[in-house]
Structure 1
Amino acid sequence: MSPTEQLADLLPGWLPRQRWFAAKGRSVRSTEVVARTPLLAAADLSVEHVLVGVGFTDAPGTQTYQLLVATGVPPEGVTEQAVLGTDGDATVYDGLWDTRVTDWLLAAVRDGVTAGDLRFVPEPGATVPQSGHGRVLGAEQSNTSVVWGRETILKIFRRVLPGLNPDLELHRALRAQGSTRVAALQGAVEGTVDGEPATLGMLQDFAADSAEGWPLALETVRAAVGRAAGETDFSGEAAALGEAVAVVHSQLLAALGGTTADPGRLAAGWQTRLDAALPQVPELAEHEHAIRAVYDAVGTSGTPVAVQRVHGDLHLGQTLRTADGWLVIDFEGEPSAPLAERARPDSPLRDVAGMLRSFDYAAFHEVLRAAPADSAAASEAAAAWAVRSRSAFCDGYTRGAGADPRAQEAALRAFELDKAVYEAVYETRSRPTWAPIPLASIRRLVATEPGPS
């Protein structure tokens, strides 16, 4: 058996156990090593960059994943989860857990190394640290990130697609605008997938001592519903976050330009997604006509919709609160969508709607998590928190953009509904106990009262 075949044999049992594997629950039909690039060779360690094609029994086609495969004696701290198997007396494991490997990666970006089809590309004028031992962050789902000290973070895109990843593209555009609302780009790892250029990773400033928006918001929700002491109002933070998002939108427009979209085409997309959702979420049936009416109000308006590059998957979990203000992170767009769709210009209202939906989730997640005896009072307090936060976010966005997103009430409501329908499908499939959150929002959004709050 060749070394490539031996490696391929280790993968079917290992890949599905990784948090970043995007096909949980699907039966793996085949694994194929489609590319191997040697990176590092020493007496007790060899490291390769490996692209793996994974086929499934339920559908044709494959998904491509990238690995940094180390073979040798793993250092302390390499967990069983990171071990693929053995090769004779050597251990085969995920090299990102080995500081010798991460040290090499950092130097490769700093020095602009080329290895086979791989290109390690420093950003012009960026400062890449000279040294330091990298550590893997453990909280991510779809990617793996390595942090060096308090300065630098490398995100490795585990599932890779042909084409320029929007996360890298938009960070480059925002860096050119001098944006302080995103972590500055330091460099990238680029390669080839299916014969086309592809983004494999990106190196950025690390926002040390920052707080993610989701848990920060939840702290105030818990206080508002009486389950914890502390500040009960998130309005000030929501307003600052709204202003930051508006600034990012303005910078993306300045960097990449904008155009307009046919409202009928937008509405047709919403209607198609609703068609697909109805059989999966029976509770949507009673709201079908009201939802379609909201979509039709936009589709038949005849008013072109301004579109540009946007975040595409914005929620509280895609934000960081630092001592200097809010940062927006992870510009990959909706992970399940094709790369071309994620790179398509869209309305900034999609990002606004995504954040408004996130405030609803933060508010009512706490109520669903542990319904107390006074659940009615808790629900009322959560609803009031959501109203304040949503309104404050729009106020802040208005300051940053010079225009109030609530002035486009019909379109904003439609974008929110489209997102809530998507959420209803996702929750019904994956977390049925959370489905009441988007379903309650749909009932609110199809009611006669206008406005996002």
Structure 2
Amino acid sequence: MTSPSPLPLDTLPDHLAAARWFGGKGRPFTVTSVTRAAEIRTDGEPRLVIDLVEVSYSDGAEPATERYQLPLSLYSHPQERLNHAFINWYDEGGESWVHAYDAIHDRDAMAAWLAAFAAVEPDGGAPVSESGPDGLVLRRLPGHELDPEAHSTPFSGEQSNSSVMFGNDSLMKVFRKLTPGVNPDIEIHDVLTRAGSDHVAALYGWAELGSGEGVLQLALLQQFLTTASDGFELALASVRNLFAEASVDPGGELAADQAGGDFADEAHRLGVALAEVHAALAEHFGREPVPPEALTALGDRMVARLDEAVTVVPQLAEQRERLRSTFAGVAGLSDVHRQRVHGDLHLGQTLRTVLGWKLVDFEGEPAKPLAERRQPDSPWRDVAGMLRSFDYAAHAVVMTATSADGTEDEDRDDRARAWVDRNSQAFLAGYLGDREPTSDEETLLRAYVADKAVYEAVYEARNRPGWLPIPLAALTP
């Protein structure tokens, strides 16, 4: 059972506002409560506890409230090595002072968490706190012996979660924003790991907290991919290589398939990997036809998003009728199926290792409610996300080059489009195997690609106006 936390509330708003993982940036909020959910036993200091912070927003928008996880490392004296992770200090009574730090940055605290995982029997659950049936439970999968001596290193740059690498052995992802229910990142990794999939980092275990609202899944522990390279960075390098080689080619006619960094074979392999992941998910979770009324509703939602987008990005008005027709065409389809999918797939959610492509982060779109992220969807949504990512990779390099030399280069634009076409076709060929897409699949894919580009246009207009030309160009015939 949770209880009120002694952690003072006064500094928490500033701490949350500065945290990369806080989803309420730019919204007026107050911290309404902090509860102590669990404690992981340690020998002496630090004490390792998990607090849950409730915030309420006053702008009338949804969600009106959110809950965030704060793993805390508690010491009786200040720890200068953790000054960058300091949260607050308080008196526990009798002049017993406690200094609280974000535990993600404390190797001693992370060692205690890893040791607790290592003590769990595979395919069992071990309560690690004394808070009764609603306490913290760690679960492990069979097949891997954890290295409890591995030192922790926090990752930098993450947006919505916090990850810690334990040597070259394992990686723990701590979910910061919590919603009651099964987290799809754990659920899907569990299924694919047990199925022996080669296209994900193996799941080693996870932490969850019981509550009257349902399970709160706090963290997952999985394989650390020591040879992994980010898919988006590899794509950028391929485009840069194409531009660099074209710049020294006497005729200036170097084609996308002639560059030393040609990406098409990798794009094909990535398509194969996605197809195999989709097949495994369909086998476990099932696959069902989408009824006509659901297709009509899907087209209507796309049209509604377009109409809303036009108010943010007026340039979209020129394409409005054509795009509405594209979205309305979804309602007339008859051979569409849905299943569990990735839900937020792009090159940045892929890693290339010596053993092939791996897909990561099966949480779905973070802004969507958890229940919606666990709903079945068309696999073509994932395909569309990857196609849009190829387009972003190529034109991001164009924009960077244009900013560097201050000139618009039509040949550079042509080469970028050729790179996108070549790799999109290779990816689709890998995904489809020996068959061609049906007319219904082509119609649905066009709609998903356009819907994704509309979303991107709104995002860029609000966050990176200089990048707005990328999705706008994709929406212009």
Give the TM-score normalised by structure 1.
Answer: 0.92
Instruction: Give the SS at the match of 1:53.
Output: strand
Alpha-carbon contact 1:394-1:406 (below 8 Å) kept: no
Instruction: Give the SS at the match of 1:443.
Output: coil
| Aligned match of 1:190 | 208
| Aligned match of 1:409 | 442
Deviation at 1:334, TM superposition (A): 0.5
Q: Within 5 Å, which residues of 2 pair with 1:92-131? A: 92-112=100-120, 113-114=126-127, 115=129, 116=131, 117-131=135-149
Identity %: 40
Instruction: Give the SS at the match of 2:5.
Output: helix
Alpha-carbon contact 1:160-1:193 (below 8 Å) kept: no
Structure 2 residue corresponding to 1:295, chosen from 324, 327, 349: 327
Cα distance in 2 for residues equivalent to 1:129 and 1:236: 36
Instruction: Give the SS at the match of 2:47.
Output: strand
Greater alpha carbon shift after TM alignment, 382-391 vs 263-272: 263-272
Alpha-carbon contact 2:40-2:116 (below 8 Å) kept: no
Deviation at 1:193, TM superposition (A): 5.5
Alpha-carbon contact 2:111-2:148 (below 8 Å) kept: no
Deviation at 1:150, TM superposition (A): 1.0
Deviation at 1:74, TM superposition (A): 6.3
* 2:82 equivalent to 1:78: yes
Deviation at 1:76, TM superposition (A): 6.4
Deviation at 1:90, TM superposition (A): 4.6
AA of the residue aligned to 1:55:
S
AA of the residue aligned to 1:95:
A
* 2:17 equivalent to 1:23: no
| Aligned match of 2:451 | 418
Structure 2 residue corresponding to 1:205, chosen from 200, 223, 243: 223
Instruction: Give the SS at the match of 2:450.
Output: helix
Cα distance in 1 for residues equivalent to 2:45 and 2:90: 13
Structure 2 residue corresponding to 1:258, chosen from 287, 294, 303: 287
Cα distance in 1 for residues equivalent to 2:60 and 2:210: 24
Q: Within 5 Å, which residues of 2 pair with 1:150-229? A: 150-192=168-210, 195-226=213-244
Instruction: Give the SS at the match of 1:162.
Output: coil
RMSD: 2.1
Structure 2 residue corresponding to 1:267, chosen from 293, 299, 305: 299
Deviation at 1:100, TM superposition (A): 1.4
Cα distance in 1 for residues equivalent to 2:175 and 2:186: 11
AA of the residue aligned to 1:328:
L
Greater alpha carbon shift after TM alignment, 334-343 vs 219-228: 219-228
Deviation at 1:237, TM superposition (A): 0.9
Cα distance in 2 for residues equivalent to 1:156 and 1:107: 16
Cα distance in 2 for residues equivalent to 1:292 and 1:3: 52
Instruction: Give the SS at the match of 2:11.
Output: helix
CA 405–327 in structure 1, closer or farther in 2 if over 3 Å, else same: farther
Instruction: Give the SS at the match of 1:140.
Output: coil
CA 47–91 in structure 1, closer or farther in 2 if over 3 Å, else same: same
CA 102–278 in structure 1, closer or farther in 2 if over 3 Å, else same: same
Instruction: Give the SS at the match of 2:148.
Output: coil
Cα distance in 2 for residues equivalent to 1:36 and 1:83: 20
Q: Within 5 Å, which residues of 2 pair with 1:218-257? A: 218-226=236-244, 231-257=260-286
Cα distance in 1 for residues equivalent to 2:78 and 2:229: 32
* 2:13 equivalent to 1:12: yes
CA-to-aligned-CA distance 1:383-442 (integer Å, 9 cap, x gap): 11111111111111122xx54447521111001011111111111111111111111111
| Aligned match of 1:138 | 156
Cα distance in 2 for residues equivalent to 1:140 and 1:79: 20
Instruction: Give the SS at the match of 1:128.
Output: coil
Instruction: Give the SS at the match of 1:8.
Output: coil
Deviation at 1:186, TM superposition (A): 0.4
Instruction: Give the SS at the match of 2:274.
Output: helix
Cα distance in 2 for residues equivalent to 1:388 and 1:111: 50
Structure 1 residue corresponding to 2:90, chosen from 54, 71, 87: 87
Deviation at 1:129, TM superposition (A): 2.5
**Structure 1 segments unaligned to the other structure (5+ residues):** 445-453
Greater alpha carbon shift after TM alignment, 261-270 vs 16-25: 261-270
Instruction: Give the SS at the match of 1:30.
Output: strand
CA-to-aligned-CA distance 1:10-32 (integer Å, 9 cap, x gap): 21111111111111112222341
Structure 1 residue corresponding to 2:376, chosen from 309, 326, 345: 345
CA 329–77 in structure 1, closer or farther in 2 if over 3 Å, else same: farther
Report the count of equivalent residues.
Answer: 439
Instruction: Give the SS at the match of 1:91.
Output: strand
Deviation at 1:339, TM superposition (A): 0.8
Alpha-carbon contact 2:154-2:165 (below 8 Å) kept: yes
| Aligned match of 2:424 | 390
Give the TM-score normalised by structure 2.
Answer: 0.87
